[in-house]
Amino acid sequence: MADVTESNISANVAEGNMITTTNDLSKFIRRLTQGNGVLTPYWVNQVMLFPPAGSNPGNWYGCGIGYSLNLGYGHSGAHEGYLSRMVTDPELDFTAVVYTNSWNLDNGMITINDQLYFILDEACYRAKVIVQ
């Protein structure tokens, strides 16, 4: 058994400070990208219309909102024991929230990124294709 004392998320500023449901996460990201959330419409438009300088047009992150080509806008979360991803495409009125309690560390963070950006993103993409 691993010692997870250092993994206690209670003291971390962002991760773990919110207990929520998939339905609430879906509402959160939709409202955020509509300018009805924690960011004002001005800042949401700045982030959505003007990606950070030097960023990849198909994949960027700013002000807590990321953009992934073919998925839309969203955010991911990771901590030992879970991975989560929420995305929304305002033009199609599509939103997905996926999560898993797996944590594959076979190749360290490379494996975590593979899980997050390939497996969870693929689940979101497949859901989007179904509803289109």
pLDDT of the residue at 86: 92
pTM for the structure as a whole: 0.79
Please classify residue 15 by burial: count the beta carbons closer than 10 Å to its beta carbon, then call 0-12 exposed, 13-18 middle and 19+ buried: exposed
* Residues of the chain under the 50 pLDDT cut: none
pLDDT of the residue at 59: 82
pLDDT of the residue at 8: 64
**Which one, of 33, 22, 36, lies nearest residue 62 by Cα?**
33
CA–CA gap between residue 90 and residue 64 (Å, rounded): 17
Question: Could you tell me which residues are beta bridge partners of residue 61?
Answer: 66
pLDDT of the residue at 72: 92
